[in-house]
Amino acid sequence: MIVSDSMSSPVYVASPTDTVAYARNLMLKRHVSRIPVVENNRLVGMVTKKDIGYSLQKKGPVWRNRSPDSALLNTLMSTDPVTVSPGTGVRDAISIMKSHEISGLPVVEQGMVVGIYTKTDILSSDLVVTLKGKVRHYMNPPSLVSGDHSLDHVIDCMRTGPGKVFVTGEDGMVAGVISETNLAFYQVRNEIERHKEDDKTASHVMTSPVICVSPDDKIKEAVRLMQQHRITSVCVTHKGCVKGIVTRNDIIHEVIR
């Protein structure tokens, strides 16, 4: 099996002088998490939901004091992105993603971007069909915050943890989840711009209800829910309390073992 068998194509691209708002809206419209940045038909960078979401952190880029939406992609994008060719083997592509700690690879042929291969494509592949066992054997410790934690704290948890952050009440019950998508598509950016003195908190950006499984569910149920809801992780709960998280990365790690 090679990358061209399951890569996404056509690819939606942007230019270095397009704005963050343009890339964010393109992601939202096309249901994608990353946009290749192309200049003169050549790949020069990549911008992801994570890049946009993390721009909300106060100790972030120097343009933090103005609306992130107005910034140009050349101030935010990752340069010299790692690429693969259409004929690259799927397992080789997965190994490249793992070694570079990235979730997607532009597929380049003769210098042109012809597709993109992501961990979502892997999750939908036949490689996952062989997985067996219960959720408890795949889950990992979650990152937890309270509703009044700051966005800076939430982003710090995202950087050091499994990516998603669960918001819990004092009783330990799950109240919401915060993902890179929540930050990147935060709908009150104009309000942030007008009221910089008002610190927004986890409760302002979280999504609820949370997609959950139990520790004793089969791992295939977790995969099904990720595919159905277009999410990259599920919360593991017991009697409403958060016990762990299963991520797309956990699934892929087992696939390539």
- Nearest by Cα to 240 from 175, 160, 145: 175
Taking the C-alpha atoms of residue 62 and residue 45, their distance in angstroms, rounded to an integer, is 20
- Nearest by Cα to 184 from 8, 83, 66, 33: 33
**pLDDT tens digits for range 197-248:** 456 789 988 999 999 999 999 999 999 999 899 888 999 999 989 999 999 8
Q: Are residues 110 and 154 in the same domain?
A: no
Residues of the domain holding 10:
3-118
If DSSP codes are grouped into helix, strand and coil, which group holds residue 141? coil
Q: Is the pLDDT confidence value at 59 over 90?
A: no
Q: How much is the pLDDT for 191?
A: 44
Instruction: Provide CB contacts within 8 A for 159, sequence distance 6+.
Output: 54
Q: Which of 58, 87, 118 is the last residue of a domain?
A: 118
Q: How much is the pLDDT for 62?
A: 46
Tally of structural domains, the chain:
2
Q: Are residues 153 and 99 in the same domain?
A: no
Average model confidence (pLDDT) across the chain: 86
N-to-C CA span, the chain:
17
**What is the pLDDT confidence band of residue 111, given thresholds at 50, 70 and 90?**
confident
Whether 123 is covered by a domain: the verdict is no
* Structure token digits, residue 190: 């104009």
Q: How much is the pLDDT for 17?
A: 95
**What is the pLDDT confidence band of residue 145, given thresholds at 50, 70 and 90?**
very high
Contact 222, 215 (CB under 8 A): no
Give the containing element (helix H, strand E) for 53: helix 49-54
- Nearest by Cα to 237 from 217, 206, 210, 214: 214
**pLDDT tens digits for range 178-207:** 988 888 776 444 444 444 445 678 998 899
The backbone region for 59, taken as left when phi is positive above 0, alpha when psi lies in -120 to 50, beta otherwise, is alpha
Taking the C-alpha atoms of residue 216 and residue 14, their distance in angstroms, rounded to an integer, is 44
Q: Are residues 141 and 105 in the same domain?
A: no
Q: Is the pLDDT confidence value at 63 over 50?
A: no
CATH number at residue 221: 3.10.580.10
Q: Are residues 114 and 136 in the same domain?
A: no
Contact 186, 51 (CB under 8 A): no
Q: How much is the pLDDT for 23?
A: 92
Among the residue ranges 31-35, 54-58, 115-119, 196-200, the one predicted with the least confidence is 196-200
Q: Are strands 233-238 and 241-247 parallel, antiparallel or unpaired?
A: antiparallel
Q: In the chain, how long is the greatest CA-to-CA distance?
A: 57
If DSSP codes are grouped into helix, strand and coil, which group holds residue 105? strand
Question: For 255, how many CA atoms within 13 A lie in the half-sphere containing its CB?
Answer: 25
